[in-house]
Amino acid sequence: MHTERHVRLFKNGRNQALRIPRDFELPGDEAVISKEGDRLVVEPLARPSLLAVLATLEPLNEDFPEIQDPPPAEVAL
């Protein structure tokens, strides 16, 4: 994989844009851009895992009713 490529900048409406070459593609469809001095840094947007999202939920404070669900009867073969 290449570590450097020259690309052309272009205008997209009032925004400046660049086309990212295939070998530099990022996963997903969103990214975070930041500026460090004269450099622009583009990073894929890190999505939280399902476990991380579930950990942020408040616990339920209610009792659930008993469910009468006996196992199925055995079938003779």
**Of residues 74 and 1, which shows the higher confidence score?**
74
pLDDT value, residue 46 = 84
For residue 25, CA distances in Å to 22, 32, 36, 43, 54 come to 5, 14, 21, 10, 30
pTM: 0.54
Digit-coded pLDDT (tens) for 16-50 = 999 999 999 998 889 999 999 999 999 999 888 89
11: tokens are 């205008």
Share of the chain above pLDDT 90, in %: 53
Average pLDDT over residues 3-26: 92
14: left (phi over 0), alpha (psi -120 to 50) or beta: alpha
